[in-house]
Amino acid sequence: RGVLAGDGTDLLATRRGAPGGSWRALGGRRPPGAGAPLAGPATTDRTAYDETLKGRWLANRRTPEDLARAVERFERAIAADPEHAPAHAGVAIASVLLLHWERPGSRTVRDRAVEAAERAIALDPGLPEPWAARAMVRIFDRDWAAAEADFDRAIEVAPGDAQARQW
């Protein structure tokens, strides 16, 4: 079996077995600054989880076509589990990235990013991504103080997450 739970065919079961167990099994200690152990998935719905992972992969490719496809994947995840905050955060992040490719004044993409970020924040205020996404929209809106407050909150909830510091 190895260190992770399951045989690797059930990603959710494998991920549930990962927090802390792999560090101990390998005889190591958590490195300084590594942050808290991984939390379990924010959903038990396999479709929502899988679609969120596929959406993240597409969003990380950063092309306009892949960002649009990422939004579709995240929306499928939301359809499977409307309470899955990481999927809402994914819509927000992918939409913000699309704003770089579309006209910055594109209200449809901008509004989708804000709505998704605010829904993700309402569901899980401990996720850094929606705070960073909303901060980016506020930069496009030239609302510097609100953007700074959202970036500060993203860093506060996840000091080891690089995205808020990168943006």
Contact between 66 and 55 under an 8 Å Cβ cutoff? The reply is: no
Which one, of 88, 107, 90, 97, lies nearest residue 136 by Cα? 97
**Of 114, 102, 164, nearest in space to 143 by CA:** 114
Q: Is the pLDDT of residue 9 over 80?
A: no
Q: What is the pLDDT of residue 117?
A: 98
pLDDT over 90 percentage in the chain:
63
The pLDDT score that the predictor gives to residue 106 is 72
Question: Are 88 and 130 contacting, i.e. CB atoms less than 8 angstroms apart?
Answer: yes
Confidence of residue 101 (pLDDT cuts 50, 70, 90): confident
- Rounded to whole angstroms, the Cα distance separating 50 from 57 reads 11
- Residue 161 is predicted with a pLDDT of 87
